[in-house]
Amino acid sequence: MKVGVIGTGSVGRTLAARLAELGHGVTIGTRDPAATKARTEPDAMGNPPFASWHAEHPDVPLGTFAQAAEHGEIVLNATGGSGSIDALTLAGAENLRGKVLLDIANPLDFSQGFPPFLWVKDTDSLGEQIQRAFPDARVVKSLNTMTAALMANPSQLADADHSAFVSGNDADAKATVTALLRSLGHTDVIDLGDITTARGSEMLMPIWLRLFGALGTPIFNFKIVR
């Protein structure tokens, strides 16, 4: 399946590499490809420069946000939440029309330090904001409740005996995302309901962040025992 990854941070890189490894045709998109390629310093999050990652993944072409979105049958929003609407606007509503838009971002505001706050919650969600901004895209919120390494390779923890969630208004789009998640190794994908249920999964962030502190590792995940 052709996948367009929007965002070249650690989430975008991790998923792009894994999806390419599984045989998907992946294009990864950035605001300014020439600038992204030219960078030689780690980014603000401490990720190595894109060029060093790209040297190991030459099978993943780098394009603009629009080129990545145009390429994808599934478009994957792997940008930081505060920049998601802008990045998807640059990707172009016309390139998202009818597409499955897998939204992985969380509405985290780091401006006050750690832990970050949610700038939208409980009565609205980033997933809903994106669905409203791009009404012709079929938004599915998923994977935002775990660290990138587990999104891409859930089997590395407890033989993947933990849960992922999907939220969205389009049943076919959720089925497509669920199949993609299973191909990554996810064994338990729970359909929470329509896109308003993204409020619930985004609101897992505060306890996720505290668990990260308490456990001293991001390699943990929620399992819904039933």
Q: Which positions touch a second copy (CB under 8 A)?
A: 117-118, 121-123, 157-158, 161-162, 165, 190-193, 197, 199-201, 203-204, 206-211, 213-215, 217, 219-226
For residues 179 and 224, which CB has a smaller minimum distance to a second copy in the complex?
224
For residues 149 and 204, which CB has a smaller minimum distance to a second copy in the complex?
204
List, in sequence order, every residue forming a beta bridge with 190; answer none if it has no partner: 165
| Alpha carbon separation from 198 to 6, 163, 226 (Å, rounded) | 20, 15, 21
| Residue reference for tokens 């789009």 | 173
Kindly state the smallest distance separating residue 127's Cβ from a second copy, in Å: 13
Give the integer Cα–Cα distance in Å for 56 and 165: 31
For residues 17 and 139, which CB has a smaller minimum distance to a second copy in the complex?
139
For residues 66 and 190, which CB has a smaller minimum distance to a second copy in the complex?
190
Give the integer Cα–Cα distance in Å for 198 and 98: 20
Task: Report whether 92 contacts 119 (CB < 8 A).
Answer: no
Kindly state the smallest distance separating residue 206's Cβ from a second copy, in Å: 4
Give the integer Cα–Cα distance in Å for 187 and 178: 10
Kindly state the smallest distance separating residue 61's Cβ from a second copy, in Å: 35
Kindly state the smallest distance separating residue 200's Cβ from a second copy, in Å: 3
Instruction: List phi, psi (to 5°) of 4.
Output: -105, 120
Kindly state the smallest distance separating residue 189's Cβ from a second copy, in Å: 12
For residues 72 and 107, which CB has a smaller minimum distance to a second copy in the complex?
107
* Sheet containing strand 100-103, strands side by side: 62-64, 25-30, 2-6, 74-77, 100-103, 138-142, 163-168, 188-193
Kindly state the smallest distance separating residue 70's Cβ from a second copy, in Å: 34
Residue 101 host element (H or E): strand 100-103
For residues 73 and 188, which CB has a smaller minimum distance to a second copy in the complex?
188
Task: Report whether 49 contacts 83 (CB < 8 A).
Answer: no
